[in-house]
Amino acid sequence: MSSLWIRNARVIDPAARRDDAGDIFIENGKFVPTLSTAARKRARQIDARGLVACPGLVDVHVHFREPGQTHKESIATGSRAAAAGGFTTVVCMPNTTPVADNAGTIQYMKDVITRDAVVKVFPTGCITVGMKGQALAPIGSLKRAGVVAITDDGDCVQSNDLMRRAVEYAKMFELPVMDHCQDQSMTQGAVMNEGVMSTRLGLRGWPNAAEDLIVARNVILSEYTGAHIHLQHISSRFSVDVIRRAKARKARITAEATPHHIALTDDALGTYDTNFKMNPPLRTEEDRRSLIEGLRDGTIDIIATDHAPHNESEKDREFDFAPNGILGLETALAVTLEILVRQNKFKLPKVIDLMTRRPAKLINLAAGTLAPGAAADVCLFDPDETWKYDAKSGESKSSNSPWHGKTLTGRVKTTIVNGRVVFDGRRIVV
Amino acid sequence: MPWHRRHLITLEELSLDEIEQVHATAVAFKRTLKRTVKKVPALRGKTIVNLFLEPSTRTRMAFEMAAKRLSADVIGFDAANSSTTKGETLRDTAQNIQALQADMIVLRHSAAGSPLYLSRILNIPVINAGDGAHEHPSQGLLDTFTMKEHLGSLRGRKVVILGDILFSRVARSNIHALTKMGANVTLVGPSTLVPHWFTHLGVKVSHDLKSALADAEVVMLLRIQHERQAAGLFPSLSEYTSMFGLNKTRASWLNPKAIIMHPGPINRGVEIDSELADGARSVILEQVTNGIAVRMAVLYLCAGGQPENVTPVE
């Protein structure tokens, strides 16, 4: 019997409304209320004085690029980046090559996950065949193969009728439908937020209205069908307002915000640095503030990273030609603590909740808790340690991060999955 | 202040003093263009590569003419027959040009920000000859140079830029130069092509041609491209002409001494009547000639020359 005894931590478990100084006991991969004196003697001990111990972080929005784009990332390297960032459960988007629109591809991913992943990795499947937005993918087979949600992330379903049928059909399996909200007819050639900065820089603008329209569409379809629609990486203040009003009517709508959208604005694009290029784009200070207020009042349910690796030769290009997306897993906790806790006075347990219990609940996963009997997934972090982030020496295969070379505050010291230490604060140890 | 820039990427980053230094240098070079022997030896032994990755006639020829007048050797780079069509990146193309011991690159590119990108990679000066819808600094310098020749100081002068502002690098460079020089700038055109965001750059935005043109001393027309109509930004070229085309009646609303400018290529009968384009108030061809002198100044200064050292050889 293997035992682990985490001593003298500040234990934060939002699921149990716990925030106190104490110990965490783990036996055979599960949390236990306590360990016997004999077991304590045998147990591996971790001195967590000065550290926060919370459930392993949960991210419902990552791109691990496998199969097919493993020059950017793989399930192995992506899961290592997750572990280094304190994440123990992540959900992969299906825009791989080939796309995950059939049970066979999902089975392949699951085999690779079993073989390579150091944290818990769950696949999603496509809404439509080939992610082309024309015909429904075999959603039932995908569910049976193990997807936790369906999404055409990156390629928002444009047909309102097809989206209606998709959510209606997925509701039969209580499968969340995640949508990247973008009216593509309004964003042809767009590479950044439309506004003062795009006007100055001469770059093609992506108006927030293109997001707001689809957010409103999804609210309407969710209320019409009763299906759960999850709105990915909300970036616009108008969208926050639409969601807030939908929630007041008890619509089955959930929403996420990324660390980069709450930390940065399109002011950062003045030097055409492609590590600030993502979709949806960074928006204005007003939008950023609205996202933070949305997280504060529950309009936005969770933090998700949209970890999107691209290798250097792909990003090292003219701004128009570089792909969208930035890394997120290894900086998410530090950035979120900086913005929400230090700058906006969120209580730490609230922020932990946004990154553990709530995202787990959103996709019906038994994670994000320190409750006895639950799988022992833990993140230990020092909320005050400052460190310099070097994306090139990180665990991800790529290094496309706007925080490369920046000093961050808040550092993951240990990540535990099923009672096993997988990251010890310096390296992956499996 | 001596000239210290090696690259010319934007007019947004130039100070008023720097703009005036370029103009003063261009005045000196313009004199040399009137002589029988038009060459000066300023850049003898230097090689300038015109890296034009987007079609251009006027700008490319003007830069080549300017370089040759300065006695530099010029190599043109034709996008259609180059390794870029074989998938070579801009970085690799530019590094190869540098390795070929070129002394300067003049870049025209469809992607905004690409000259800045190259200037950070290369050790040799990069001159922006137009990057997407961002800037066309040498055009902004030659346009303001031409205005000054006709009006003297631009402080307090009413300048109207009319047409497709949204996609225009010429408009942006002129906006930055003109606002620094103290001109009152009004942008006019259909609301889809002249978004209100431009007011943040210190200019007025109007969709009423008559009040905008009233007593203006400069009107600069921009080319209306058919592809913008295809993208649904305005109904038709004929509607554009009927709403915003410059004709004799509308030109009468201008200040009597106003000049009419256009960076070219012009669409006769669309944004401007032929009569006006060829008329006495038109300075369109002067702009082209001034383009040589201003680009000589730009190349000379960015190659390390100083304004006071321009000494034309007689």
Structure tokens, A213: 């329209």
Say whether A200 and B113 touch across the interface (CB within 8 A): no
Nearest-CA distance A308 → chain B (Å): 22
**pTM: predicted TM-score of the whole model, two decimal places:** 0.95
Interatomic CA distance for residues B13 and A427, integer angstroms: 44
The secondary structure of residue A233, as a DSSP letter, is S
pLDDT given for residue B216 in this prediction: 98
**Could you give the residue numbers annotated as active site of A?**
306
CA atoms in the 13 A half-sphere facing the CB of A427: 2
- Break chain A into its structural domains and give their ranges: 3-52+374-394+407-423, 56-362
Fold of A56-362: TIM Barrel (3.20.20)
Interface ipTM: 0.95
**Residue that has been written with the tokens 């390390």 in this structure:** B304
pLDDT given for residue B307 in this prediction: 84
pLDDT given for residue A429 in this prediction: 96
Interatomic CA distance for residues A305 and A298, integer angstroms: 18
In the three-class reduction of DSSP (H, G, I as helix; E, B as strand; rest coil), residue A428 is classed as strand
> Which candidate in A284, A319, A321 is best for mutational testing of the B interface (most B CBs within 10 A)?
A319
> Which candidate in A191, A193, A194, A200 is best for mutational testing of the B interface (most B CBs within 10 A)?
A200
Is B143 an 8 Å CB contact of chain A?
no
A330 residue type, one letter: E
CB A403 within 8 Å of CB A331: yes
Q: Which of B89, B110, B195 has its CB closest to that of A199?
A: B195
pLDDT in tens, B151-170: 999 999 999 999 999 999 99
CB contacts < 8 A (A, B): 60
Say whether A200 and B131 touch across the interface (CB within 8 A): no
Chain A residues with CB under 8 Å of B195 CB are 199
Give percent of chain B with pLDDT exceeding 70. Answer: 97
Q: What is the pLDDT along chain A (430 residues), one digit of tens a residue?
A: 589 999 999 999 999 999 999 999 999 999 999 999 999 999 999 999 999 999 999 999 999 999 999 999 999 999 999 999 999 999 999 999 999 999 999 999 999 999 999 999 999 999 999 999 999 999 999 999 999 999 999 999 999 999 999 999 999 999 999 999 999 999 999 999 999 999 999 999 999 999 999 999 999 999 999 999 999 999 999 999 999 999 999 999 999 999 999 999 999 999 999 999 999 999 999 999 999 999 999 999 999 999 999 999 999 999 999 999 999 999 999 999 999 999 999 999 999 999 999 999 999 999 999 999 999 999 999 999 999 999 999 999 999 999 999 999 999 999 999 999 999 999 999 8
pLDDT given for residue B186 in this prediction: 98
Name all domains of chain B by residue range, CATH numbers in brackets.
Answer: 16-135+291-309 (3.40.50.1370), 137-287 (3.40.50.1370)
Give percent of chain B with pLDDT exceeding 90. Answer: 86
The span from the first CA to the last CA of chain B, in angstroms, equals: 28
Which distant-in-sequence residues (6+ apart) come within 8 Å of A214 by Cβ? A156, A179, A181, A182, A183
Q: Which of B117, B169, B195 has its CB closest to that of A272?
A: B117
What confidence category does residue B53 fall into, taking pLDDT thresholds of 50, 70 and 90?
very high
Is B175 an 8 Å CB contact of chain A?
no
Chain B residues with CB under 8 Å of A198 CB are 197
Interatomic CA distance for residues B62 and B295, integer angstroms: 7
Question: Is the CATH number of domain A3-52+374-394+407-423 2.30.40.10?
Answer: yes
Say whether B112 and A272 touch across the interface (CB within 8 A): yes
Say whether B90 and A318 touch across the interface (CB within 8 A): yes
pLDDT given for residue A92 in this prediction: 98
> Which candidate in B134, B164, B165, B170 is best for mutational testing of the A interface (most A CBs within 10 A)?
B134
Is B110 an 8 Å CB contact of chain A?
yes
Quote the Cα angle for B25-B27-B32, to 5°. 100
